[in-house]
Homo-oligomer: A and B are copies of this chain.
Amino acid sequence: MQTLQDNISELIAHGLDRIHYPETAPGLYAPIAYTLESGGKRLRPRLLLSAFAAFCGSRPISEALPQALGLEIFHNFTLLHDDVMDNADIRRGRPTVHKRWNSNSAILSGDAMLTLATEYIADCPSEKLPTVLALFNKTAMEIYQGQQLDMEFEERDNVSVEEYMDMIRLKTSVLLGCACRMGAMLAGAAEEACEAMYSYGTDLGLAFQLRDDWLDTFGDPLEFGKEIGGDIVNGKKTWLLITALEESDGEIADILREDLEPEERIRQVVKVYRKLDIDSRCSALVKEYSRRAIDAIRGVDMDGKLRDFFIELAHESAERSH
């Protein structure tokens, strides 16, 4: 039997397939279609539609589809521009837009995606438009702030765990919070419930990102789908590395300064991680945020099946292997 989550996934897939691109300057839209057809978890539109379903009563969830698509388009726009900034070659197993086309195409088509996302977000009942749009714009601005901090952190060697948590909250979590809140707002949920959904989404986002950090070092290579240890090789400032830098009394900094082969560098860094118990402390923190997410929606009056879905999703996110 088809579940509500199956319906939601189908709605999103069909919606993305049916995006209408203008006929003028098709070269502007080919990279957008390429980006959107490349898959991904579709987590943001799924959260938005699930949050809508939790409070909408008997109204059809397709009412909130434009905003769900708008957030997915926006998310893919940020990935597209981030890939240019990081000079990344591969995204979801395929060449990035700036490799397949060029940087100029990636910049300009990304701009067009941001405007396209805004058009989808704005396609809602006019009495909801001011608050829905304000939430979207505020969230977008926070995500740029997060990306800016992330770039600045790469140039610094004294980033604190607190600063790191602030950065990932901005860069990753607020968009999940925005998805949950926007779905609830569109369904007409009370402000208190909307706020609770926002907390749920941001805590889920923190759990998600910290689990990403953990998987990159401690994941199962067969299930993770990417090479293990990429963050260590690139000296990427993750929760693991920043915590170890703070606590290892120069040991990690020394290893990073040495000119080691990738495998040897991973081996030495992981050895320090194990000594400091970074592995299980990171897992515990992921569980803590997952628990906070679940706590946030306790006592909120919503559809029982959807509540179960949100609780299950928070548990899964803390234990996922890819």
User: Residues on A close to B: CB < 8 A?
Assistant: 22, 24-25, 27-28, 81, 84-85, 103-104, 107-112, 114-116, 118-119, 122, 126-127, 129-130, 133-134, 137, 140-142, 144-149, 151-152, 170
Contact = CB atoms under 8 A, between A and B. Distances in A.
Given A115-B140, A145-B22, A152-B27, A107 B122 contact: no
A110 B144 CA distance: 10
18 contacts: A25-B145, A27-B148, A85-B103, A85-B107, A85-B108, A104-B151, A107-B107, A108-B147, A108-B151, A111-B111, A111-B114, A114-B115, A115-B137, A115-B141, A116-B141, A122-B137, A126-B129, A129-B133
Contacts of A112: 141, 144
A145 B147 CA distance: 27
A126 B125 CA distance: 12
Contacts of A145: 22, 24-25, 28
A21 to B, nearest CB: 10
A318 B24 CA distance: 29
B81 A144 contact: no
Contacts of A133: 118, 122, 129, 133
Contacts of A126: 126-127, 129-130
A302 to B, nearest CB: 28
Contacts of A109: 144
A149 to B, nearest CB: 5
Contacts of A107: 81, 84-85, 107
A29 to B, nearest CB: 9
A84 to B, nearest CB: 6
Contacts of A22: 141, 145
Contacts of A122: 130, 133-134, 137
A24 B115 CA distance: 24
Contacts of A114: 111, 114-115
Given A25-B170, A85-B107, A111-B114, 16 more contacts: A24-B170, A28-B144, A28-B145, A28-B148, A81-B107, A81-B108, A85-B103, A108-B144, A108-B147, A108-B151, A109-B144, A115-B141, A118-B137, A119-B134, A126-B126, A129-B130
